[in-house]
Amino acid sequence: MNPTRVKKTNCRTVVGTLLALALLIPGAAIAEDPALETRAQKKAPTAFAAEKPEPVLHWGKGDGKSYFVPAVDILGFVFLLNQFDRYYFDSGDFDSDYSSFKENLTGGWVYDSDPFKINQFGHPYAGSMYFGFARSAGLGFWSSLGYSAGGSLLWELAGETTPPAINDEYTTGYGGAILGEPLFRMASLLLESGQGKPGIWRELGAAALSPATGFNRAAYGKRFDGVFRSNNPAVFTRLQLGMNLNATVRSNVNRNPNAAEEAIPQSYRRGEAIADFTIGYGLPGKPGYTYSRPFDYFDFQFTAATSNIFENIISRGLLYGRDYTAGDNYRGVWGLYGTYDYIAPQVFRISTSALALGTTAQWWLWEKVALQGTALAGVGYGSAGTIDGEGERDYHNGITPNALVASRLIFSDRASLDLEVRDYYVSGLASAESEGSENILRGVATLTVRLYNLHGLTVRYTVSRRDAQYSSLPDTSQTVAAVSLGYTFLGQTRFGAVDWRPRSEGGP
């Protein structure tokens, strides 16, 4: 694997994605912001009163779904990816033929040790392509999950000469679906925004978000138009462009194993520029909105940084659940969630694909003040390890229990305070290295103040800590903390509070 080539590819991916997300934000703002509503729309019923949902989609219906089209798409994608890898990389790992396929088909499965970014991002992103081919051909979430798992199996058996890997099949098949569904839905939301047929910029933006969707739209025209509808969810978006102003690093990982006993701290690039995008989709409290499909509620965050390209990629969505109420001012959803997390604060990294039980809710505390929150507890398969620690363990796989508590306190249309705590325990179960474990704790506090219209400022404090214990290595402890300041462009003035009205207009 050529690191320079991977880095250039990652940069192009980041730039294209951020441009697509910039297109998405104005559409979400127009659809959801009461500040932009007409006087007739402001004559709304009391908060949380029922109303008939109206789909946003305006660009017609196609001929329906196809099981054959995504199968052909995936075969072609796997073939082209294999050919590219075969002729570009100086390795025999991709010189697959019938004999290697037969050997992989009849041989045993292993835990592979490819670079962390390949296993924990490259494979899930490839899985999101397989998933997107099926999703954009009109198939539902669960059917598309079968295609992402099938595409991964095809690659493991026929795309490489190396033995098929259990961890790759899981992260590509399941992780690809959890990553792919929000990308598909954001692309669909962008196509649905505005009136009439999508223009070239919306088409290009949707293709950057979900390349598989863009390919099927270009290849098959209107055949699959209108098969999927977003059903007008409550959406909140926030884009931050800023810089880390201050950072502290504590680490007992030596860069040089022959150094003195006192630990030499790992290198850390201070003053890095960051771009952060957050979207909440299907937020609880929207009158008439239902949660009948996987990911009718989801939260997605993407952070790019000049230090390591991918700082965070975090996706969680409701796979199966239902909404509930508690009094006049509390609305929520609960059930089974799917999660995909990739977090890399320069000196270490953690990634996991998991299932979790939990709830997401909104509570009007008093007039113009709302509290939104999510609490999850689950288990998945994860990887964690240090970065830039010569002589240290690169990363460790294992069954990973994890938990999340996140909240957003919204002060009318002026400010919001987000607090989030995550914890991951990468155990020695189902691991090639059973005599070791890692625990990673991460906390984030974000204050956003709206200054004018949809423009504001965000101050964020992030702290991450990794503690690792292995029988063959000294215990490792690493802590990274950073303060960032950035310009913020909001998708709406009320920070995602759903169905807000002043009391004089029948609000909570």
Q: In this structure, what token pair is assigned to residue 395?
A: 């990363």
Q: What is the largest CA-CA distance in the chain?
A: 75
Tokens 């290697």 appear where? 100
Cα separations in angstroms, 333 against 264, 279, 397, 498: 48, 17, 32, 14
Residue 216 has pLDDT above 90, yes or no: yes
End-to-end CA distance of the chain: 57
User: At residue 389, does pLDDT exceed 50?
Assistant: no
pTM of the model: 0.86
For residue 97, what pLDDT band results from cuts at 50, 70 and 90? Answer: very high
pLDDT of residue 54: 41
Q: What pLDDT band is residue 211 in, cutting at 50, 70 and 90?
A: very high
pLDDT band with cut points at 50, 70 and 90 for residue 315: very high
Tell me which residue of 444, 442, 443, 452 sits closest to 487, measured CA to CA.
Answer: 452
| Highest averaged pLDDT of the listed ranges 15-29, 239-253, 397-411, 420-434 | 397-411
Q: Tell me, what's the pLDDT at 26?
A: 58
pLDDT of residue 269: 78
pLDDT of residue 10: 52
Residue 465 pLDDT > 90: yes
- Residue 239 CA to residue 458 CA, distance in Å, equals 10
As a whole number, mean pLDDT of residues 322-349 equals: 94
Q: How far is CA 418 from CA 277, 410, 438, in A?
A: 14, 9, 27
Q: Is the pLDDT of residue 429 over 80?
A: yes
- Give pLDDT tens digits for 238-272: 999 999 988 888 888 755 444 443 444 556 778 88
Reduce the DSSP state of residue 142 to 3 states and report it. Answer: helix
Look at residue 433 in the predicted model and tell me its pLDDT. 74
Mean pLDDT of all residues belonging to the chain: 84
Q: If you average pLDDT over residues 345-357, what whole number do you get? A: 94
pLDDT band at residue 308 under the 50/70/90 scheme: confident
Give the confidence band of 115 by pLDDT, cuts at 50, 70, 90. confident
The pLDDT, as a whole number, for residue 18 is 52
Alpha-carbon distance of 224 to 144, in angstroms, equals: 15
Compute the Cα dihedral for 75, 81, 84, 86 and give only its sign.
Answer: negative
pLDDT reported for residue 11: 52
Q: Please give the Cα distance from 365 to 375 (Å, whole number).
A: 18
Cα separation, 486 vs 273, in Å, equals: 9
Give the C-alpha separation, 328 to 351, whole Å: 39
425 has a pLDDT exceeding 70: yes
- C-alpha–C-alpha distance, residues 181 and 172, integer Å: 13
Strand segments (E) across 106-234: none
Higher pLDDT, 492 or 215: 215
Give me the pLDDT at residue 81, please.
95
Across 479-490, average pLDDT: 95
DSSP state of 114: -
pLDDT of residue 471: 84
Banded pLDDT at 64 (limits 50, 70, 90): confident
**pLDDT range class, residue 403, cuts 50, 70, 90:** very high
- Are 427 and 398 in contact, with CB atoms under 8 Å apart? yes
| Angle subtended by helix axes 141-154 and 166-192, to nearest 10 | 140
Domain 231-505 belongs in CATH node 2.40.128: yes
How far apart are the C-alpha atoms of 113 and 116, rounded to whole Å?
8
In tens, the pLDDT along 353-377 reads: 999 999 999 999 988 899 999 999 9
Residues 35/273, Cβ–Cβ less than 8 Å: no
Domain residue extents for the chain: 68-220, 231-505
Least confident of 33-42, 87-96, 264-273: 33-42
